[in-house]
Structure 1
Amino acid sequence: MSPINYDLLRRVVPTGYDQYRDDIAHGKIETVEYFSKTIGCKRRAMIYIPPGYPDGQGEYNVLYLLHGIGGDEEEWYNHAGPQVILDNLYADNKLARMIVVLPNGRAMQNDRAEGNLFDADKLKAFEDFEFDLLYDLIPYVESNYTVLTRRENRALAGLSMGGGQSLNIGLGNLDHFAWIGGFSSAPNTKEPELLVSNPEDAAAKLSLLWLSCGLLDNLKHVSDRTHAYLERNDVPHIWYEESGGHDWPVWKNDLYHFSQLIFR
């Protein structure tokens, strides 16, 4: 199956999609603490709760949305206002029922984005986040929120370093995630032969694999090689090349599109 060509998406991002609207219902962003057995301490995450939650009509899906190497659990909130984008989509009936979890993908005792971000221990902490996510954060969310708990009800996506994490963790744990997105994925992304060692299995289990990158992004070669491998091995995916570089206008646009496609 060939990848879906998403060039047409460039012309359907409406003006004001990321602007606060007074005339609609609004969700909220809350900060939670959970205990990480992986790290041995409490950790923080932010969670977007949609308007009306819980509404008594059933459980919600969960999107785990990851930040880049220079950020933390507040990066999306501080730079992209995801709650505004999501509120607007909810108001226009363009989203499936979901909460959105914004974790800290640097799984270490001092998880702040400070000092040399490329220190070996900090880079390893991004790898260790896989265990924190699977065995600490997801169980916390599923014990404390009205959410569905099957793989079909979990999505994982992120930008830059978080995009690499999303592909590495998501494609390596298809028993946990059916919807995966890499936005401008960074060089921490595994070689595609390691990411998808069994193309037939991945093709059968994935509900959506989204890859996107700005045409002016200096890291585009990482996404290019992944897309080429997937195409060569008939793994269905969306490949979306968009105007822009390695920056927030691109990632906000990705969130706008990706969030509408998941849990359908």
Structure 2
Amino acid sequence: MKKIVLYVGAFLFSIAGYAQQALWGGGDIVSPQINKDNSVTFRILAPKASKVEIEGDFLPAQKIKTPFGEVEAPGRVQLKEGKNGVWEYTSSILPSEMYNYSVYVNDFKTTDPSNVYQNRDIATITNYFLIGNGQADLYMVQDVPHGTVSKVWYNCPTLGMERRLTVYTPAGYESSNKKYPVLYLLHGAGGDENAWVEQGRAAQIMDNLIAQGKAEPMIVVMPNGNGAQQAAPGEAPNSMVKPQFMNPKTMDGEIEKAFPDIIKFVEKTYRVKKDKNNRAICGLSMGGFHSLYISAYYPNKFGYVGLFSAATSKQINNKNTSDVYENLDQKLATQFSNPPRLYWIGIGKTDFLYKDNIDFRKQLDEKGYKYTYVETDGGHIWRNWRVYLTEFAPLLFK
């Protein structure tokens, strides 16, 4: 009997050791290390490498050519090899922000093995870090009341499938009988219902703005804007596929026509105010395109509209004949005959959509339609879109 107990004990110990092998495999390398002056030191153990580089959005941007024109991409810098095969690089002093980066070892792209904090943007995994005492304080988890983030399935008869939303309810929602306004927050091309809570830090932003009294408590609904998808890749039946930039049924009118299914579900499921002036819609890039056309196609649905680095009518496939995109001038005339309380446009100075946004603003100016315009540095990047959300949300439902 004693032998059996010993064998069982040894077996269990071996299983525990196997299960926790990741603990013993970790080293004592600290990377990234945020220094007192807000410079950042990176360390990569690569004793047999001939070259190690960091690519990140905290470095001077490089220009690359794409089918959409020349765009900015994260810069790259080489690390220096030190003792014991540890390569190292210290950045310049960085302003408060959330930064993303990747590692290249002999031109092989990978992540920083010492940094467990990662995000997926379309099909790319990158590490990230935050530097506080400024803008990024809004992106950090602070000691404030926290809302709830839920992944919720709803029926979408227009698209003929069950689909998923990410829904943020503010602190106190579960314990109150109060009704709340709703912000519909839309992602860009290649994104999904996870994008704004992961890359966009939407939950942290809303928690902190509400706690500071800068934003009204509101429900934030983040749909999947890819009309052929039920949910994010890997999170729906038969969806273990590589994420791609352009998905079927994204800018063909289908998502716009299906949007009332989302509103109907939200207003049936949550305690919300159901009038135009308690609904807002905004989005980045393709999501800005959707926001523009959804709000114009349903002119009495939204009292607040936000276009973040928005695509415009020029991005519509010429073969597309959906009535959603036809007669925009007439649709805008109807929308602005009883205008939104806020029509907000934000764009980066080096965004590849900058000229298109100028043209769209001229279209609004010629008709005397009032809007708020914000111009920032930088291009078509999450850094801008997070800032836009922090500026747009406080203006809602006042």
Within 1, Cα distance between the matches of 2:244 and 2:143? 44
**Does residue 243 of structure 1 match 2:377?**
yes
What is the RMSD of the two structures over their aligned residues, measured on CA atoms? 2.5
| Residue in structure 2 matching 1:195, options 304, 314, 328 | 328
- Cα 1:202–1:31 shift into 2, 3 Å: same
Q: Residue 352 of structure 2 aligns with which residue?
A: 218
- Cα 1:189–1:240 shift into 2, 3 Å: farther
- Asked if the contact 1:27–1:51 (Cα under 8 Å) also holds between the matched residues in 2, the reply is yes
The residue type paired with residue 221 of structure 1 is K
- Cα 1:162–1:74 shift into 2, 3 Å: same
Q: Deviations over 1:55-83 (max 9, x none)?
A: 53631000000001110100111212111
Q: Deviations over 1:144-200 (max 9, x none)?
A: 101011111111100000001100111221211111111001245689994342547
The residue type paired with residue 158 of structure 1 is G
Q: Residue 127 of structure 1 aligns with which residue?
A: 253
Q: How does 1:108-187 map to 2 (within 5 A)?
A: 108-109=228-229, 114=242, 117-118=245-246, 121-124=248-251, 127-134=253-260, 136-187=261-312
Q: Where does the alignment leave 5 or more consecutive residues of structure 2 unmatched?
A: 1-132, 234-241, 317-324
Identity over aligned residues, as a percent? 33
Within 2, Cα distance between the matches of 1:79 and 1:41? 27
SS in 2 for 1:29: strand
SS in 2 for 1:225: helix
The residue type paired with residue 40 of structure 1 is G
The answer to which structure, 1 or 2, has the higher relative contact order (CA under 8 A, 6+ apart) is: 1
Q: Number of paired residues?
A: 249
Larger CA deviation: 103-112 vs 159-168: 103-112
Within 1, Cα distance between the matches of 2:151 and 2:279? 20
Within 2, Cα distance between the matches of 1:87 and 1:112? 24
**Does residue 92 of structure 1 match 2:212?**
yes
- Which structure has the highest strand share of the two? 2
- Asked if the contact 1:46–1:102 (Cα under 8 Å) also holds between the matched residues in 2, the reply is yes
Q: Where does the alignment leave 5 or more consecutive residues of structure 1 unmatched?
A: 1-12
**Does residue 49 of structure 1 match 2:169?**
yes
Shift of 1:20: 2.2
The residue type paired with residue 257 of structure 1 is E
Shift of 1:143: 0.7
Q: Residue 36 of structure 1 aligns with which residue?
A: 156
Within 2, Cα distance between the matches of 1:260 and 1:162? 20
Within 2, Cα distance between the matches of 1:112 and 1:52? 28
- Asked if the contact 1:65–1:102 (Cα under 8 Å) also holds between the matched residues in 2, the reply is yes
Q: Deviations over 1:24-62 (max 9, x none)?
A: 111121100001101211100100111111453631000
**Does residue 77 of structure 1 match 2:203?**
no
| Residue in structure 2 matching 1:228, options 341, 356, 362 | 362
Q: Deviations over 1:124-143 (max 9, x none)?
A: 5x521112211x11111101
- Which structure has the highest helix share of the two? 1
- Cα 1:240–1:22 shift into 2, 3 Å: closer
The residue type paired with residue 245 of structure 1 is G
Q: Residue 64 of structure 1 aligns with which residue?
A: 184
Q: Residue 388 of structure 2 aligns with which residue?
A: 254
- Asked if the contact 2:308–2:346 (Cα under 8 Å) also holds between the matched residues in 1, the reply is yes
**Does residue 18 of structure 1 match 2:138?**
yes
- Cα 1:111–1:56 shift into 2, 3 Å: closer
- Cα 1:151–1:218 shift into 2, 3 Å: same
Within 2, Cα distance between the matches of 1:189 and 1:262? 29
TM-score relative to the length of structure 2: 0.58
- Cα 1:56–1:16 shift into 2, 3 Å: same
- Asked if the contact 1:151–1:174 (Cα under 8 Å) also holds between the matched residues in 2, the reply is no
| Residue in structure 2 matching 1:102, options 200, 214, 222 | 222
- Asked if the contact 1:167–1:189 (Cα under 8 Å) also holds between the matched residues in 2, the reply is no
Within 2, Cα distance between the matches of 1:100 and 1:189? 29
SS in 2 for 1:71: coil
